Chain A
Amino acid sequence: MTGYIIRRILWMIPLLWGVATITFFLMHLVPGGPFDREKELPPATKANLEKKYNLDDPLLTQYVKYLGNLVQGDLGTSFTRNREVRDIIEEGFGVSAQLGLTAFAFAIVTGMSLGILSALNQNRLGDYVGVVFATMGASLPNFIVATLGVLIFSVQLGWFDVLGWGGPSWSEIYNPFAWDFRKVVLPVLSLGLLPSAYVARITRASMLEVLRQDYIRTARAKGVREYVVVLRHAIKNALIPVLTVAGPIFAILITGSFIVERIFQIPGMGRPFVDAVFRRDYGVIMGTTVFFAAIVAVMNLIVDILYAVVDPRIRYR
């Protein structure tokens, strides 16, 4: 197991190097440069600017320099914002992470509860409600939920605000009164609805499978109370397939938050990245891509490890 984890962590190095390399060259393939304006800059100004950010070096030199800095944790400077890329990411990612994690929690909790309720009431009313939710939800992409949600709940009913993010500072994260729910509910719902439908589907299927197993019958036969059977024997085993999708869901949430942030004007990572691609702000493009790739890779690793923890039958070599 330890050997497996070490190998997986080591594999992340070439993986991220690959992501950085491909992004670097792709980015420079995008037509136009960071200092191309509709009104041409004077050639001397442009040359000076390019010199300042080392853009006058040959591409390979730039690449080697960039990698050198990256290894030391230096993500470079944003040309258009004149700030460290690191600061931009730190600032934006804090908000994106809050939105993403809240939506993640929402997706797992509602998805699993609905899936379990469905499975326990198979082919009865509760099941149909769950199945309809799971199918409908899975075909409602985040920006549709977000825009229609704003239309119905903010414009028509006036229940929620739509500008900005209402999350607290990280130190107050457990204090429910620090959250501005008028601003939080819609973005989280938009982002979390589709994954929660996905989780509900998988939980239902795996619960149905588990409930048919012999050990459940044994537990019931020896007189264990029903809720103990469900809580202790069934749910624990039904968790495993849900865990396998936790990694992909996390990736969906991370990129999905870009769109939701845009709709609700949330100051996360979405805006800086989209702006950066429009303006060829190389540093921000690189920084964001590599950073997010690293996060997804770490998340996938954690999921794989948890997988082995939950299911002792799984052995990694």
Chain B
Amino acid sequence: MAEARAIGVYEELREAAGPPRGLWSDAFRRLIRNRLAMAALVLLSVLAVLAVAGNTVGWVQRYEPTFQDYSVVKTGPSWDHFFGTDNLGRDNWSRVLEGLLISLQVGFGVQAVVLTIGILVGGTAALTGRLGDNILMRITDLTYAFPDLLFIILMRSVLFGRDWPIIGNERILVIFAISFVSWTTVARLVRGQMLSLTERDYVIAARALGATRVRVVFQHMLPNTLSPVIVAVTFGIPIAIFAEAVLAFIGFGLPPPTASLGTLVNTGYQYIIETEWILVFPACTIALLMLCFTFLGDGLRDALDPRTR
């Protein structure tokens, strides 16, 4: 009797809890419930659509970012020019949209490279035994020891001004220059996770069941290193966006007339006495981008690792 009742209660509880959920769908539910993170995600999607449309669709862009109209120089916002015009009579709306697209491309591009290098280096270090681990981690330490900005400036100068095969776009060079100093965090994270995972019961169990090494690594270990890596990558995006903006701001970014947000802030700062509009819009765009990615990163961290709450 008691047994049957216990089963009944169990069935009831199971029904109440709904179908069984995995780690990822659980995390996804937690993320959706986080209003701030969802607001950030929606805003970022709007910005991304705006950035893409603003560089491809004529009626969103309205003016060519390089088109100079000397009859309207340094004007404030108006219906003709939403964000006003700059010192050469170029439309700031279309230039900010170009900068926005560059920022997003650099943000995601850098993280793609960082993820590749980081997982490769970190994973190899964790799995190849002591010698490989030592060598790779010393290289990581060495990269970490470079003062970031100095090294990015140097790398950027090395990469620019040559004829590269395949790479046609200078944005990719900026992405590489920033990536070369940024991969250490992910590499260390992956290595640490992997090392701790090799001792876990389920990994030992998989090995005991006769799973091949490749299968153990890709099926059991890599997915379990992912959640801290996803968080690190999300927080890495605003850092990369910031790095690009700084490079452009001090004149080491994409060559003019390309309108990176950093370049626009620099131009705005030069004419700060005459008009504040050239500065305000790109500066606020950068701040908004970074704010959204920070909120999203916070949300992801809370969702993927509930213990840190």
The residues of A with any CB-CB pair to B shorter than 8 Å are 15-16, 18-19, 22-23, 26-27, 29-32, 135-136, 138-141, 143-144, 147-148, 150-151, 155-156, 251, 254-256, 258-259, 262-263, 273-274, 277, 285, 288-289, 292-293, 296-297
Contacts and interface: CB of A to CB of B under 8 A. Distances in A.
A258 B279 CA distance: 20
A23 B146 CA distance: 9
Nearest to A148: B283
B165 interface: no
Given A18-B142, A139-B287, A255-B148, 7 more contacts: A30-B157, A135-B291, A147-B265, A151-B276, A274-B251, A285-B154, A296-B147
Nearest to B288: A139
A151 B145 contact: no
Contact of B147 (A32, A156, A254): A254
Interface of B: 141-142, 145-151, 153-155, 157-158, 160-162, 238, 242, 245-246, 249-252, 262, 265, 268-269, 272-273, 276, 279-280, 283, 286-287, 290-291, 293-295, 298
Contacts of A263: 269
B154 A274 contact: no
Contacts of A31: 160-162
Q: Which 8 A-B pairs have the closest CB atoms?
A: A255-B149, A139-B290, A139-B291, A292-B147, A31-B161, A18-B142, A30-B157, A141-B242
B260 to A, nearest CB: 13
Nearest to B239: A141
Query: Binding site of B, secondary structure by majority: helix, strand, loop or mixed?
Result: helix
Contact of B142 (A19, A140, A255, A292): A19
Contacts of A292: 147, 150
Given A31-B162, A138-B294, A143-B245, A289 B146 contact: yes
Nearest to B150: A289
A148 B155 CA distance: 29
A15 B148 contact: no
A136 B36 CA distance: 13
Question: Which of B149, B250, B265, B283 has its CB near the most chain A CB atoms (within 10 A)?
Answer: B149
Given A141-B245, A155-B273, A19 B158 contact: no
B164 to A, nearest CB: 12
Given A31-B161, A259-B249, A274-B250, A26 B149 contact: no
A220 to B, nearest CB: 24
A251 B265 contact: no
Contacts of B273: 155
Contacts of B287: 139-141, 144
Contacts of A150: 269, 272
A26 B155 contact: yes
B295 to A, nearest CB: 7
A272 B295 CA distance: 37
A255 B246 CA distance: 11
Contacts of A30: 154, 157-158
Contact of B154 (A32, A155, A277): A277
A288 B268 CA distance: 30
Contacts of B150: 255, 258, 273, 288-289, 292
A19 B145 contact: yes
